[in-house]
A and B are shown apart, each in its own frame.
Chain A
Amino acid sequence: MKAILELSKVGITFDTPRGPFEAIKEVDLKIAEGEFISLIGHSGCGKSTVLNIVAGLLQATNGGAILDGKEVYQPGPERAVVFQNHSLLPWLTAYENVEIAVRQVFKGKKSKAEMRDWIEHNLALVHMTHAQHKRPDEISGGMKQRVGIARALAMQPRVLLMDEPFGALDALTRAHLQDSLMDIHRQLGSTVIMITHDVDEAVLLSDRIVMMTNGPSATVGEVLDITLPRPRDRLALADDPAYNRCRQRVLQFLYEKQRKVQPIPMSSDSAKSSMAVQNFG
């Protein structure tokens, strides 16, 4: 198995008013091309921090991420991110939101017409063609997230990073989007790292589930290979013993081995904003 992305001994320590805070340490992970990885763990365990380091939005204090043999030190479209709350530009239509990414990534590489085709292709991939000229405030949450995915895909990333992409959606919409995502993954063979705290989602979508221990100093606890054959069907899998075994394993990890005992002094959200201060404040 050839690794496209490699995390070696990644650790990060934030300076807080109450002294240094080690959020994660010694995270090791190798991800093969086309693989779908889920990061799961209790909230505050540093899943997002890991993802942000891969995205380049955060700088690791120790170790680092290597993509295609090159160290990651800043964000870039080859590691497109789908954010939890869609992060669409509210003043642009769905089409324009994808367009801004396409223009930036394919400047000088695609002609105007090619760009238009590519934008429409990606919107079609997420079934948003019908609403491509609507602005975010005119479409539902699920549709917004579809546009967010289209925007990320349109960057033709080497790795697609998804930060709890369906966390804010209702169960039905979420199921729809999960199916769409499986479809897209099958068609494109993309490499995906997805953060989730939904066990079913993790098992359904992933090739491997990376379970993280609780913070501070969170790290990889266990890695579970999901060998269920694809395409996967959520109804059929419900009674599948292999599926349930996988589920069982993850639940065991989360609720027995890593039972949450105490509140964590720093949540992943405030870690994000402290990053903001460092970079843009």
Chain B
Amino acid sequence: MFSPTKQGGMPEWTQLWRSLMKGEFHSVKVVKILHQVGLPVIGMLVFVMIWHLGAQRIDTSLGVFPGPLEVAEQGQNLYAEHVAERGKEAGFYQRQEVRVAERVLVDPGYKPVLRDYTGSATFFDQILTSLATVMSGFLLASLIAVPLGIVIGLSSSMHAAINPLIQIFKPVSPLAWLPLVTMLVSAIYTSDDPMVAKSFVTSMLTVSLCSLWPTLINTSVGVTSVSQDLVNVSRVLRLGWWSHVIKIVLPSALPMIFTGLRLSLGIAWMVLIAAEMLAQNPGLGKFVWDEFQNGSSQSLGRIMVAVFAIGFIGFLLDRAMLSLQRWLVWDKQSAQR
């Protein structure tokens, strides 16, 4: 649980920190700081200790299980590889310029085109790819789920018609959707010069399919539970259907919608990693899978780096949604945690 925040939305411990910096020193506050900063730090340290000691005892066929130091080292390696790859990229563009210039001289009809770098994606590139995919998938899911949820919430007949489908599709794992989506994308998304790669479309759709349910359900529940008094206000004012939705229903249901969106984003992120792993779509999931396949003595350490990155990014995504919710939603209580 996180500490409740003051009105400005500033966490209590930052305020404490500020007052400490200003020299306001109270024993109560020190205890509070110890509680709110010290305990998490202690928790981390204990975890790292257990990890360090435990890892030494686990002997896998790829060598000793990586401890904190090895993982930190692999983190540095991954960064170094990233820098090296950027260097190669610069060389690639230089060579290409020369080549294009040569060709323009002998082939005047040629319209110079600059080709994107073809080198391998580094760990950090994979993170960006994953983020782009998850955001597009999540956006698509939200664009479908919120309006559909509103319609279902407003009409009991729609609810009756669609609810069984929701209940059936909601628990379906990304692994089951993936082959179907892959085939569908191959069949439908045919273009010689596609805007985006098929694999991107496939993972994006899989993410959407798996992540739209919490938003859909929470939106419809949020809409159903709009206070009857507010509905009466709307009726007395004779608001049209559209204004009713925009001015009464949507703001009312917004806290619930956001609850759904946060759940959805969490699911989207988890699903994405699995989808990338299975479908060999670029991204963090593929990174993990490739490293597993490589089976080098460094692989486990590199996978651990990815595990931390995945967890940390998932956490940041959730915090970002929470901030968005605090900023957008009137009901600050709903955005406490």
Binding site for B on A (CB under 8 A): 55-57, 74-77, 79-81, 83, 85, 87, 89-91, 100-101, 104-105, 135, 155, 272-273, 276, 279-281
Contact indicator A104/B251 (Cβ below 8 Å): no
Q: Does B57 contact A (CB under 8 A)?
A: no
A281 contacts across to B, CB distance below 8 A: 156
Distance in Å from the Cβ of A87 to the closest Cβ of chain B? 4
**B232 and A89 contact, CB distance less than 8 A:** no
Who on chain B is nearest to A84 by CB? B229
Supposing A81-B232, A276-B228 touch, asked if A135 and B237 sit within 8 A by C-beta, the answer is no
Contact of A55 among B156, B236, B330 (CB under 8 A): B236
7 sample A-B contacts, Cβ–Cβ < 8 Å, listed by A number: A75-B232, A76-B238, A80-B236, A81-B232, A91-B252, A91-B331, A281-B156
User: Are B236 and A85 neighbours in the complex by a CB distance under 8 Å?
Assistant: no
A135-B330, A272-B228, A276-B231 known; A89 vs B238 contact (CB < 8 Å): no
Q: Which residues of chain B in 198-242 are interfacial with respect to chain A, using CB atoms and an 8 Å cutoff?
A: 227-233, 235-239
Evaluate whether A81 and B236 lie within 8 angstroms (CB atoms) in the complex, with A89-B251, A90-B331 already known. yes
Contact yes or no, A85 B229, CB < 8 A = yes
B235 touches A104 (CB 8 A): no
Contact B330 A100 (CB under 8 A): no
Question: What's the tally of chain B residues with a CB closer than 8 Å to chain A?
Answer: 22
When the two chains form their complex, are residues A100 and B232 in contact, meaning their CB atoms are under 8 A apart?
A: no
Q: Which residues of B contact A273 (CB under 8 A)?
A: 228
Say how far B201's CB is from chain A's closest CB, in angstroms.
37
B248 at the interface (CB under 8 A from A): yes
CB nearest neighbor in A for B330: A91
> Using Cβ atoms and an 8 Å threshold, which residues of chain B touch A81?
232-233, 236
Q: What's the Cα separation between A87 and B228 when bound, in Å?
A: 9
In order of increasing CB-CB distance, the 6 nearest A-B pairs are: A91-B330, A87-B229, A75-B235, A91-B251, A75-B236, A104-B237
Assembled-state Cα–Cα distance A101/B230 (Å): 13
Given A91-B330, A104-B238: 9 more A-B contacts, CB < 8 Å? A75-B232, A80-B236, A83-B232, A87-B232, A101-B237, A104-B243, A105-B237, A276-B231, A281-B156
B247 at the interface (CB under 8 A from A): yes
Given A90-B330, A100-B247, A280-B238 contact (CB < 8 Å): no
- Assembly CA distance A273 to B229 (angstroms): 10
For residue A272, which residues in chain B have a CB less than 8 angstroms away from its CB?
A: 228
The answer, among B235, B238, B252, for a CB contact under 8 Å with A57, is B235
Shortest CB-to-CB span from B306 to chain A, Å, is 41
CA distance A279 to B230 in the complex (A): 14
Cβ-defined contact, A100 with B237, below 8 A: yes
